[in-house]
Amino acid sequence: MSAIQDRLEALGLTLPDAPAPAANYVPFVQVGPLLHVSGQISARDGALITGKLGADLDVEQGAEAAKCCALSLLAQARAACDGDLDRVQRLVKLVGFVNSTPEFDQQPAVINGASDLMVEVLGDAGRHARSAVSAASLPFGVAVEIEAIFQIR
C-alpha cells in the first residue's frame, strides 16, 4: 500500500472513483512531469453539493464542499498515475471557484477546505500556490469547483 493511501486511511478518508468528464474534455493531461487535472465539482457519494455561498451555504459548508473537490482531484491523480499515488511528488497549484453572492468575500476560507486536506494528506508536498475566486454561477449549480496541477514522478 502507498504512503499517501495510508495517510488517507489514517484520516478516515476514502477517495471516490475518478469522475468522468461531463462534456468534451479529458479529466487530466500530463505534460512532462506536470499533471493538469480538470476542474472537479463539489460532490459527495455521487450527489452534487449545490448552492451559493452567502445565500444558501455558510463558509464551513463551503469548505466541506471544497474538501470533496480535493478528494476528487486526488482520485484523478491516482487514475493518471495508474493507481500509484506515491508518484505524486507535490501539489503545485490549486485554482478554486466559489459560487457566491456579490457580497460574499470569504472565498479563500472556502478553498482552505481543499488546501488543508492536501497538506494533511501530502504533508509539505501538499503546500501549493493558489487562487480562490468568486463565480456568479458554476456548472449544475455546484458550490465549488477546483482544478489542480501536480508534479509527478
pLDDT in tens, 34-64: 999 999 999 999 899 999 999 999 999 999 9
Please determine, for residue 81, whether its predicted confidence score (pLDDT) is greater than 70. Answer: yes
Q: What's residue 71's pLDDT?
A: 97
pLDDT band of 152, cuts 50, 70, 90: very high
Going from N- to C-terminal start, the domains of the chain cover: 3-11+28-152
Please determine, for residue 24, whether its predicted confidence score (pLDDT) is greater than 80. Answer: yes
Among 1.25.40.10, 1.10.3660.10, 3.90.850.10, 3.30.1330.40, name the CATH number for the domain at 3-11+28-152: 3.30.1330.40
Q: What's residue 148's pLDDT?
A: 98
Cα(40)–Cα(38) distance, integer angstroms? 6
102 alpha carbon, distance to own chain's centre: 23
Local structure of 113: helix, strand or coil: helix
Cell of 143: 458550490
Cell of 138: 458554476
Local structure of 91: helix, strand or coil: strand
Please determine, for residue 1, whether its predicted confidence score (pLDDT) is greater than 80. Answer: no
